[in-house]
Amino acid sequence: MKFAVWILLLALAAPIQESKDSSTADVDGPYVFEGDAGTWIAKRIVRKGNELAAAVDKLAGPTPEIEVPLPGREKPLRVRIRPAGDPPATRVPAPERLLALSDIEGNLDALINLLQAAKVVEEDLKWIFGKGHLVVVGDTFDRGLHVTECLWLFYELEARAAAEGGAVHFILGNHEVMNLTGDLRYARRKYHENAALLGEKLEELHSRRTVLGRWLRTRNAIQRIGDELFVHGGISPAAAAGKVELQAFNDELRRALLADAWVKPKEGTLKLVVDGKEGLVWYRGYVVKPIDEKTLDEILIQYGARRIVVGHCVVDNVGFTLGGRVLTLDVLHAKGVSQAALREGGDWFRLSRDGKRVKLEIPVAEPSPR
């Protein structure tokens, strides 16, 4: 009876994926929870023969090292747990080299291929990008089957980059916000079943009491790097009309995600971040029924920026739109169209997973009809 009830609840929990999701429980983790007296509890799904089982380990010390198995790779990723630290800065100077990608959606193979093609990491995932910056413009969660591995890779690369004078900027997209606030409609069945095997609710796997949950809740929703803005959806005219400083956008979202309970905002700065139509993480007005360039110029002037770099809306290829004011990144990684944007020497290039580079040219506006 209990099993039948659990299956019913599972079906209700993931209605969006129900008709097309054939995934089931599989190897996953670890999910590292805060324990007592400075310890950590690592929970993972392991395979024992033909069966899957939960494995729980107690980790000692404030900064233990864990191993994250990576499918298709012989060696696991070794990750050092670190203190939470201060939230990332909202504004940073532009580096000499920068790689921007978005909407990986748990596609670990595409992610590693792009990082290696850009010479961000070596085969062993060692950071070799020096003082370069990697910018992840939202939506690592949902749809794919290796979300956990992608998150741990970004978490660890953040530390490895900092040690070399570089940086990783992990920007929250709508799917991060959804998962961190209990909206699990796009989570694959694999993760619902894994959570049940671990004796946890799915939303608890990235709660405030986990390493990744705490880390995610302190990331930015919008990042200024040099004179370019990186944000998952975009700054809508409605968001700009609020005259909100970039720092306030990030502070309000961080405060809400770290609170005891999530309350969907009806007004104020937080609504300008998470509103399903006009919010920073949801806005589609640079690609779908595009905003007029004059209005976009006003937004850029307001925030002292030259360009906005976004994900969220699928495009055929990474490239410029709206006269070069916007750089779009969201391509169908899962369908083999895996690309990122690489900036070197002041120029932007479209980078394919095979290492091919194409310089991005700013489109010339067509003359208005007479």
- Say which CATH number the domain at 212 has: 3.60.21.10
Domain membership of residue 242 (yes or no) is yes
DSSP annotation string for 127-173: B--TT-EEEEES--SSSSS-HHHHHHHHHHHHHHHHHTT-EEEEE--
**Total count of domains within the chain:** 1
Domain membership of residue 168 (yes or no) is yes
Q: Identify the pLDDT of residue 117.
A: 97
Domain membership of residue 59 (yes or no) is no
Domain membership of residue 319 (yes or no) is yes
Q: Identify the pLDDT of residue 37.
A: 80
- Which are the contacts of 44, defined by CB distance < 8 A and separation ≥ 6? 27, 28, 29, 30, 31, 54, 55
Structural domain boundaries enclosing 310: 91-359
Q: Identify the pLDDT of residue 84.
A: 86
* Tokens 């990697």 -> residue: 134
Give the span between the Cα atoms of 169 and 171, in whole angstroms. 6
Q: Identify the pLDDT of residue 12.
A: 43
Q: Identify the pLDDT of residue 38.
A: 82
Residues of the chain with pLDDT under 50: 1-15, 18, 366-370
Summarize pLDDT for 308-319 with one digit per residue, the tens. Answer: 999 999 999 999
Domain membership of residue 8 (yes or no) is no
Give the span between the Cα atoms of 305 and 294, in whole angstroms. 14
Give the span between the Cα atoms of 61 and 38, in whole angstroms. 7
Domain membership of residue 24 (yes or no) is no
Q: Identify the pLDDT of residue 367.
A: 42
Among 69, 104, 78, which Cα is nearest to 353's? 104
String of b and e for 281-315 (b: at least 16 CB within 10 Å)? bbbbbbbeeebeeeebeebbeebebebbbbbbbeb
Domain membership of residue 234 (yes or no) is yes
Domain membership of residue 215 (yes or no) is yes
Among 219, 227, 225, which Cα is nearest to 249's? 219
Phi-psi region of 355 (alpha: psi -120 to 50; beta: other; left: phi over 0): left
Summarize pLDDT for 339-366 with one digit per residue, the tens. Answer: 999 999 999 999 999 999 999 998 865 4
Q: Read off the tokens for 291.
A: 């905003």
Q: Identify the pLDDT of residue 363.
A: 80
